[in-house]
Amino acid sequence: MSTAHPTAPKIAFIGAGSVVFTQGLLADLFAFDELKCAHIALHDIDAERLATAEAAARYIAAERGARPTVTAHAERRAALADADFVINIVQVGMGEATRTDFEVPARHGLRQTIGDTLGVGGIFRALRTFPLLKALGEDIAAVCPDAWLLNYTNPMAMNVQYLAEATGLTRVVGLCHSVYWTMQGLCELVGVPYEEVTYHAAGVNHQAWVLRWEHQGQDLYPRLDALVAEDEQLRRRVRVDMYRRLGHYPTETSEHSSEYVPWFLHHPGEIDRLRLPIGAYLDIVAENVAEYEKTRDALACGAPLTVEGTMEYAPQIIHSVVTGTPRTVYGNVPNRGLIDNLPARGAVEVPCLVDAAGVQPTRIGALPPQLAALNRTYLSTTDLVVRAATEDDPRHIRHAAMTDPATAAALPVEEIWRLCDDMVRAHADRLQPSLRAVLGT
């Protein structure tokens, strides 16, 4: 560790102005006795949000009985200097850019629900994030080369692949709570305590699959089948519909899952049958802003805050690396032989052992072929987005949109190119210069 005390690591938060998420992570960190004296270095480019994050960190530390060193930095390298762990939670462009990701495609007739992983929304969220990731990678290499970069920023698979290919960093893992909360929900559904089950999942972020799910050696899928058979409302969910046809439950919500396949969003009848909320993420953005303002105002007037843990993976990873406590988490890492029938360049989501040696991914072997087929399509789109940036080729932006399942199902190819041109115009100042070209059809 960078500090004198072996269990007092320096943890840098990049994008700490995402205050609500920062609060949850800090509550989790300070729940561990060994991390109560950590150095928490906060960075954000928004001065008000950074000040709010600092005040929240000090409040949560006091509530948890922790004695951390808390520092706030407008300059990123100062926050990163000698860090042992870097948590990236940046959202480039914030709510304004997210609204663009929905409003421009909607004018072309494209429906989206979340828009942060695949599709036109995911593609352009990645493209405006890549310049930040490249600069962050350069800073880490310069001032904290041995740090673990724990990335929460979406689109996860695109960002992790880009980090691997464009920055040279090797201690990178992408973290998402979808597997954990899926398993919590499934266990509640069948009436079995989560703590008593064993499970195994793998695939890609937001489209991984529950490969095994057991209680006391008994497969729990038959219990789920019985519930689905008798409950019409359960059958009116995308992920349940996909499970019934594919044989394995997907590890993301129905809103997310609907965007990664061609079968649902283009069809009004399916939107109604499966109760899909078009533009749902815009409501989430508004709720996040309201929650931030509530937190800011409470801290300013000395009102109490609710301090709740979130069971996120980053604090668990940090604790395991610092103390040597072994844990299994789900991480997103470059494939490199972990899943045989998915592309080697792609980022996959697999169980990872974490201990003092760091994050060590588990080799899965081959996925069932129907699952791998969907994941390969997903990773094909992801790969083209990364190539657009690493090869300075704006045509690959259009190629990515052409291969995206939901986009291709909804729009003719000339409309896809016009949409990409409009998105480039809308986001131009946030894209690397080589990708700002308007190509026409």
Catalytic residue set = 177
DSSP 8-state assignment for residue 146: T
- Cα→Cα distances 242→247, 254, 257, 374, 406, Å: 8, 9, 9, 11, 15
Contact predicate 345/334, CB 8 Å: yes
Phi, psi (degrees; rounded to nearest 5) at 126: -65, -50
Instruction: Give the integer Cα–Cα distance in Å for 3 and 369.
Output: 48
Contact predicate 206/252, CB 8 Å: yes
Determine how many CB atoms are found less than 10 A away from the CB of residue 72: 20
Kindly provide the residue ranges of all beta strands, DSSP E only, lying in 188-231, ordered along the sequence: 197-204, 207-215, 218-219
- Cα→Cα distances 20→79, 155, 281, 291, Å: 20, 19, 16, 7
How far does Cα 240 stand from its chain's mean position? Answer: 22
Tell me the two tokens of residue 313: 């993976």
- Cα→Cα distances 53→56, 80, 100, 204, 306, Å: 5, 17, 27, 31, 15
Angle between helices 19-30 and 47-64 (to 10 degrees): 30
CA trace torsion 257, 377, 159, 365 (10° rounding):
100
Scanning 263-308, the segments in alpha helix (DSSP H) are 268-273, 280-301
Instruction: Give the integer Cα–Cα distance in Å for 251 and 361.
Output: 18
